[in-house]
Structure 1
Amino acid sequence: MTSKPSTFFINRFIIGKGGKAVYDETFHRGVNIIRGANSVGKSTIMDFLFSCLGGDIAEDRWNQEARLCDAVFAEIELDGHVLTIHRQIQPGRKPPMNFFDGSYDQLLALNSAAVWQSYGLNRTDEKLSFSQQIFELLNWPHSQTDDFANLTIHQILRLIYVDQGTAVNKILRAEHSQFDKPSMRQAIGDFLLGLDDLGIYALKQQLSKAESEFAKIDGQLDSIYRYVSPSEGVLREASLQTAIDNATHELKTLLGRREALLAQPEDANSTDELKAKAAQASQEIAYLTKEIDIRTAKQAEMVNEILESELFIAAIESRIKALKESRTAYDFFGEVRFKFCPSCLSALSDAGREKCHLCKTELDDKSREASYLAALNELMFQKKESTKVLVELRTKLSEHARYLTSNQRTLQTAKANHIAALRMSSDRVLQLNEVSANIGTIEERIKNLETKAQLVTAIEGLIKRKESLNSSMLDLNEKIKENKAKTSDRRELIESKISEKTVELLKMDGGFEPAFNNAKAVMFDFAKDFMLVDGRSKFSASSETVLKNSFHLAILLESLEDATMRYPRLYLLDNTEDKGMGPDRSQNFQRVLVGALSEYSAESYQVIMTTSMVDPVLDKSECCVGPHYAKGMHTLNL
């Protein structure tokens, strides 16, 4: 929720061509009316202003006169902070926005010494985008839609700027791109009306961060568990320490045994044990060699079976494709009929459409369709079963390969033991060799156990952090739920107030639309982009124009009373006489707008509007800016 009202005002607007200003106008707080005859370029000025403030304009919306210009400048005031922005005019592109910290007059005084800060459309690692920079200056959070699309200043201006190119029964300025989704339209409305706040955005950011860290820790624990052991006992520090103590004691015993053997004298006659050892290794080598030969042959058979299965599945897929293509061809061309027998080349008699003209079998569409489905089902079944067999074969081959690799390693060990037994000079040397091997094994086991003990210590810390994050996530979800309930109450209140204000404005329409005289409620939906008056949406085009403009005026009026709304108290209106609006009705709305806003301080809001049917009284008032453009004149001094 914002602590003070957001304000976005335009103090001065300049359009340049070749280094010279072709439009330069100063705007004041309150109501600003740009008036003149049709086709003098009022909408061009408004589109230029929209583009300068960060809006995107489709390439086909730039008219010939606009394309002659090359730059736009605007002195703006964001929450009281004055700065000047500048953009190049590049139809079809989205040029960066340049910021000068000061007024336009200060910019002119500095001339080439002025310091500009350039911001692009997208954020980089070093700099914000121009939308984010404007959001920062307005103290707005960088909001996202429910599907994580970022809100930009262009999207914000879609509710502030009412143009002529958008259908009058739509709330937001038309968007001809992939970003115009219901979630985006809802986010625009909720953001500017202050219905997405109440701390929810910050809470969601905290929740997202906690969930990310929780998932990271969960992954780390999963990796550690796979490395250490799935058993609970091994994961306990006490159990690991006991295992380390036992292994250390066993190592000491083996070291003592080795010292004793080294101290013994050499016995050249002690060869019986060596002979037995060599014989045992020889038998193991013979068994493993035979086993490996059998397994290798079996592996080759399995590889052949897999290749045959793959070829069979490929053949089935080819037949399925051919069958589908055949059906498609039949559906497109119909039955292929021969004039001559393809076997003996004799002329064929016509057997009618109910029989095959070649073999004279009774036919109908149902039997043909049934035959096609039966053939397709059979092929699909064969493919499914063959694929299942192929998966099983590949699994068996993988298991077989692992077993074969294990046997080959065991064979290498047996051969090494056999060679060692043949080369050893005595049983003492054999015993020393075995003791040394056991010592190496025990040392490796102790090293692994100590590594696991370190991991267990890390696990305990991760588990505590995971429990803490889980508790935080539960707490954040509960707070978000509570704030959503508060937001729901606020949504109902804001929507009710905007509806009431819109109804009051419609009743001052002057009786042009009878349904407006007794209107009870105006319902609106940003996501669906429509408005209803007492459940009715269809009116004349001019009445829908009054409804749309009154609704936007009601939002401005509500923002002047509710400081928690982010709507920046700026209303750009280029739709006063759209769709067949007559002078009387247009001038009445102008008076209604000025009258409704007269109850508030003119310093607290800004309206910039265009009209070709200005009210005579207003035409002579301080509301008007610039000359009254007569027929033949143009807003751009080209």
Structure 2
Amino acid sequence: MMRYEPTLIVTRMVIYRSDKIVYDAAFHAGVNIVRGENSSGKSTVLNFIFYGLGGDLTDWSTVARLCSRVVLEVSLNGKKATLSRDVSEAGTMQPMEIFGGSYLDSIKAPRSQWIKYPYRSGENRESFSQAIFGLLGIPEVSSDLSGHITMHQILRLLYADQLSPVEQLFRAVPFDRADLRDTVGRLLCGAYDSAVYDNEQKIRELSKEFDTINGQLRSLFSVLGKADQGFTLEWIDAQRTSLEQEQAATQRLIEEAEQKLYTSTKNDKLTLSQQENVYKAVQALQSELIRLKQDRDALALTIADSNAFLAALKNKIEALRDSSAVVDHIGEVRFQCCPACYSPIDGELAKHACHLCKTPFESEQTRSRIAALILDTSLQIRQSTLLQSRREDRARTVDQEIRDTETKWKDASRRLSALQSLPSTNDRGKLRDLHRRSGYLQRQIEDLDQKAQLAATVRQLSDRKSELQATITKLRNTNDTLRAQQASTLAKAYTLIADEVKKLLVQDLRRQDVFEDPRSVNFTFEGNQITVDNESYFSASSRTILRSSFFLGFLAAATKNPFFRHPRFCMIDSHENMGVEAIRSQNFQLQILRVSKESKVEHQIIFATAMIEPELEDEAYTVGAFSTNVDKTIGIKLD
């Protein structure tokens, strides 16, 4: 069967009480019905699936609170993985352990092959939601106020539970926010492009830098703008040339005066101590400059090597995802003739083996290994990116240290050059005026050097400001285009979902007049409601059918259109407690079967009921045995 991405299939659930297994059931693609008497634990099973996939759960049943751990074997875009979460009465913010492979392989594997992920992402560790989204190919999405979208928020629109109000679409949570619901709905409808989020992140980062640079320029202009009109590097160079010429002339006068003093006064004592001290300072600065440049070169090589390593890791993830697709189809490759001698190939087709050389292959194990490699590679990318950021910060610091050291070295070199022309005499009385003038000129040159640095800074900041403004404008224009495309996609998704919901309502029993021939079905993720012909007030049973029809219709639209990012998975809890009569519930179950049979792609629908339609009482559709108040779904006996 074809597969659209993303596709999530639960294939097995095992629940532990300490080391004892109290529930173990296999699930399958298509329709899965958990059936049993009222209060026999059906909702507990669905709640454990919700929790095991990453949902937050606080309303634990008495039996569920006695359990210690839930383990789910899942297929994520065809790649097997095993998810494990400890049961906590808090039910929120609990971490998850993920193994890249089947449940049976996870039992035999050492603990080192499990990766523990936190609920929230940190500086050097991604969350389990990010890991699962990576395996499903769902883009990383962030809400400005809530941070990264989590599996819990996604599952709220995939699980029609019993306890949430029937007039609401999303599973009820405290402190629910409209913007977050809208973001999740857009994502599952395929109308949220990760490029928009990436661009918004860049715009925020670049805008902060733009504001910082703008403030720095205002400060510099307030100090320099009025003091020196035409404050440019060209003007500074011209001023420096004039001062250096005047200083050179003054130095020649000093040399002539000292030469005359030396030849005329033999008793004057000469000293080279000042020259030696300055020479040592030049040497020390030179050594420091060489060391810093070596550090910078080493950092540059490391950064370039790490960039290549990161690119290789990202290419590796893409290659692994491509490999997963190849594994899905490798068994379909057939040769009519031998590629060596071109003789016709006859014989029976070997299942799970190459029909040419008869070597067995196991695609499930291959997909499991691919899942483990993707998880490990994603972790390497996050850690390498963090290290790379630190290297780049260090490189910028070293560049600034080099600039500062070069300035000190040039200043010391000029002093040494002046002292080396002629040894300074201790008797400076007659040369006081010339030395004072030379010092004054040197100070002006140093001031010009500082101004040159400021001018260069102003130019760099101005260029960077213009570059930032152009980049921000380009990103905003790109996002405007992408948002227009998203609006078109969202409108298309809404129409497709509404059409599927209409089909389900028309097939409902004649209990609600407006359901018999609905003209319009409108819903809003932000407003968390659905209306039929602009009406929303129906009986509790009809609202239950309407809400369940939305979840089923959403999945049906996603199985027929690949652009949806819906994971082709949904769970619907039993209708009994909502006043839905048995015959109406059984009719809805037949609609579940119809939707599943019409689908040409992998999907999964998990439905709980105490009133199973007789046609569905079949191992192809049921999960486990029929539970009773004596023999409950979870094998724990309460005293």
What's the TM-score, normalizing by structure 2? 0.69
Distance verdict in 2 for CA 1:575–1:434, change over 3 Å:
farther
Residue of structure 2 equivalent to 1:156: 154
SS state at 1:159 partner: coil
Preserved CA contact (<8 Å) 2:140 2:194: no
Tell me by how many angstroms 1:131 deviates.
0.9
Question: What is the RMSD of the two structures over their aligned residues, measured on CA atoms?
Answer: 2.7
Counterpart position of 1:14: 14
2:118 to 117, 120, 127: 120
1:183 aligns with 2:183: no
| DSSP 3-state at the match of 1:598 | helix
Q: Is the 8 A contact 2:5 2:137 kept in 1?
A: no
Kindly indicate whether the alpha-carbon contact (under 8 Å) linking 2:169 and 2:528 is maintained by their aligned counterparts in 1.
yes
How big is each residue's C-alpha offset from its partner over 1:20-61, in whole Å with a ceiling of 9 and x where there is no partner?
Answer: 110000001100000011000111111111111111112xx1
Name the aligned partner's letter for residue 193 of structure 1.
C
Report the equivalent of 1:24: 24
Indicate the larger mover: 6-15 or 452-461: 452-461
1:209–1:510 CA distance, 2 compared to 1 (3 A): same
Residue 68 of structure 2 is matched in structure 1 by 70
Post-superposition shift, 1:95? 2.5
Instruction: Rate the CA distance shift 1:436–1:232 in 2: closer, same or farther, 3 A.
Output: closer
Q: State the one-letter code of the partner of 1:549.
A: S
1:447 equivalent in structure 2: 446
Q: Which ranges of structure 2 fall in alignment gaps of 5 or more residues?
A: 266-426
Displacement after TM superposition at 1:429 (Å):
8.8
- Give the number of aligned pairs: 469
State the distance in 2 between where 1:448 and 1:228 align: 13
Contact map agreement 1:519 1:533 (CA 8 A) in 2 = yes
Q: What CA distance in whole angstroms lies between the structure 2 residues aligned with 1:248 and 1:108?
A: 81
Report if aligned partners of 1:25, 1:626 keep a CA contact under 8 Å in 2.
yes
Aligned to 1:53: 53
- Cα deviation, 1:254-292, whole Å, max 9, x if unaligned, reads 5566668779999xxxxxxxxxxxxxxxxxxxxxxxxxx
Distance 1:140 1:245 in 2: 62
Return the match for 1:130 from 115, 128, 132: 128
Q: Which amino acid aligns with 2:532?
A: V
Q: Is the 8 A contact 1:119 1:129 kept in 2?
A: yes
C-alpha distance in structure 1 between counterparts of 2:89 and 2:629, whole Å? 27
Q: Is the 8 A contact 2:141 2:194 kept in 1?
A: no
User: What amino acid is aligned across from residue 37 of structure 2 in structure 1?
Assistant: A
Aligned equivalent of 1:614, options 612, 615, 619: 612
Contact 2:574-2:610 within 8 A present in 1 as well = no
Q: Does 1:637 align with 2:635?
A: yes
Report the secondary structure of 1:604's partner residue. coil
Summarize deviations over 1:384-426 as a string: whole Å, max 9, x none: xxxxxxxxxxxxxxxxxxxxxxxxxxxxxxxxxxxxxxxxxxx
Question: How far 1:126 sits from its partner (Å)?
Answer: 2.5
Residue pairs, 1:447-466, within 5 angstroms: 447-466=446-465
By how many angstroms is 1:217 displaced?
4.0
The question of whether the paired residues in 1 share the 8 Å contact of 2:585 and 2:611 is answered with: yes
Measure the CA separation in 2 of the matches of 1:89 and 1:198: 33
Alignment of 1:371-390 (within 5 A): none
Q: How big is the shift at 1:133?
A: 0.7
Asked if the contact 1:100–1:114 (Cα under 8 Å) also holds between the matched residues in 2, the reply is no
Asked whether the 8 Å contact 1:146–1:183 carries over to 2, the reply is no
CA offset at residue 223 of structure 1?
Answer: 5.3
Distance 2:163 2:185 in 1: 20
Amino acid at match of 2:584: R
Number of the residue aligned with 1:41 = 41
| 1:499 matched residue in structure 2 | 498
- How far residue 591 of structure 1 moved from its aligned partner, in angstroms, is 1.0
Residue matched to 1:588: 587
Classify 1:198/1:98 alpha carbon distance in 2 versus 1 (closer, same or farther; 3 Å): closer
CA distance in 1, matches of 2:579, 2:520: 25
Instruction: Give the aligned residue type for 2:451.
Output: K
Instruction: After TM superposition, list the pairs within 5 Å mapping 1:171-320 onto structure 2.
Output: 171-177=169-175, 180-197=176-193, 199-222=195-218, 224-225=220-221, 228-230=224-226, 233-252=229-248, 254-255=250-251
SS of alignment partner, residue 125 of structure 1 = coil
Tell me what 2:101 maps to. 102
Find the aligned partners of 1:146 and 1:105 in 2 and give their Cα distance.
Answer: 41
Aligned to 2:328: none
Aligned pair 1:87/2:85, yes or no? Answer: yes
> C-alpha displacement at 1:527, in angstroms?
1.1
The offset of 1:475, in angstroms, is 1.8
**CA–CA distance in 2 between the matches of 1:607 and 1:470?**
50
Q: Is the Cα–Cα contact under 8 Å of residues 549 and 575 in structure 1 kept in the other structure?
A: no
Indicate conservation of the 8 Å contact 1:159/1:172, yes or no.
Answer: yes
Q: Whose Rg is larger? A: 1
TM-score, scaled to structure 1: 0.69
Q: Is the 8 A contact 2:33 2:623 kept in 1?
A: yes
Q: Which residue of 2 aligns with 1:533?
A: 532
Distance 1:254 1:109, change over 3 A: closer
Question: Cα deviation per residue 1:113-135 (whole Å; 9 max; x = unaligned)?
Answer: 67211101122233211111111
